Amino acid sequence: MTPILRVECVAKSYGGRRVLSAASLRAVPGEFRVLFGRNGMGKSTLLKIAAGRIQPDGGSVHFFGETALSVRLPALAARGLFYLPDHDLLSPAFTVRQQLTMVQRQFPGGDILAAAERLGLTARLDQRPQTLSGGERRRAEFACALVRQPRCLLADEPYRGVSPLDADVLTAALQSLVSQGTAVVVTGHEVPTLLDAADHVTWCTDGTTYELGPPALARQHDMFRREYLGMAT
């Protein structure tokens, strides 16, 4: 299927330190893609570029086949992208319900109560995010994504600090979006969880990316096994 989002050969440096030199990323409708990489290899930078949160030094971003010289999240969001950053998405200034309602009013279609029930948040809707546990905050962010019903979801380390049970709930939510045709790209280090759930693996290392294909093939990739999974070949 044609990718809904293509990031082609992007480069990015921070203060003279080159983080990405020629990295690419694709998000395909109905596919759960995972982006692996060691810490500091540029996964979050690549996702931020894809989401229009930062601008690349070189390369291009194509969304719905359109190339933008300078993509910004608000414009991409209006066209169906939803981005979960590697820090809390929800503002401590509003309750979870208020923020879910903001999303629903902006992009009608989603059901707040159904999303909250699915993620076990019904009793937490009128609380502010800072009063929730880390796992509950992640689930509240996923509830936002379910209410939004995006065409493309980019999630940066959404499993950080969550228990295995919460991780299963998050994975089920991601898979429900994928089954509705959403293009999902997730980063993280939860190898067993992500390899079990993913349709495709991309590996980010040394400023570039390798498309490893389905998890079964990725598991057999010598360099990936040796340099990321830490397994003897």
Partner 1 sequence: MLPNQLVVHAYLRRAATLWIVVRASLSVLFVLAGVDALRINGLTMVGVVLLCGALGALESYRHREGALLGNLSVTPPMLGALLLAPALAGELVLRLLVTHTK
Q: Which of 19, 27, 41, 77 binds partner 1 (CB under 8 A)?
A: 77
- For position 68 contacting partner 1 by CB under 8 A, the verdict is no
Give the nearest distance from C-beta 76 to partner 1 in angstroms. 8
Q: Which two tokens stand for residue 84?
A: 């979960």
Residues in region 108-147 near partner 1 by CB under 8 A: 144
Neighbours of 204 (CB within 10 A): 26
- For position 91 contacting partner 1 by CB under 8 A, the verdict is yes
Q: Which two tokens stand for residue 225?
A: 């096994």
- For position 43 contacting partner 1 by CB under 8 A, the verdict is no
Q: How far is CA 83 from the centre of its chain?
A: 6
Give the nearest distance from C-beta 209 to partner 1 in angstroms. 23
Q: Which of 52, 110, 135, 207 binds partner 1 (CB under 8 A)?
A: 52
Give the nearest distance from C-beta 152 to partner 1 in angstroms. 12
Give the nearest distance from C-beta 35 to partner 1 in angstroms. 18
- DSSP result, 150-192: -SEEEESSTTTT--HHHHHHHHHHHHHHHHTT-EEEEE-S-HH
Q: Which of 9, 21, 54, 73 binds partner 1 (CB under 8 A)?
A: 73
- For position 82 contacting partner 1 by CB under 8 A, the verdict is yes
Residue with tokens 């598991």: 219
Q: How many CA atoms lie within 13 A of 211 on its CB side?
A: 10
Residues in region 149-208 near partner 1 by CB under 8 A: none
- For position 103 contacting partner 1 by CB under 8 A, the verdict is yes
How far is 109 from 106, CA to CA, in rounded Å?
Answer: 10
One-letter amino acid identity for 191?
Answer: V
How far from each other are the two terminal CA atoms of the chain, in whole angstroms? 33
Q: Which residues bind partner 1 (CB under 8 A)?
A: 51-53, 72-75, 77-78, 82-85, 87-94, 98-99, 101-103, 105-106, 144, 148
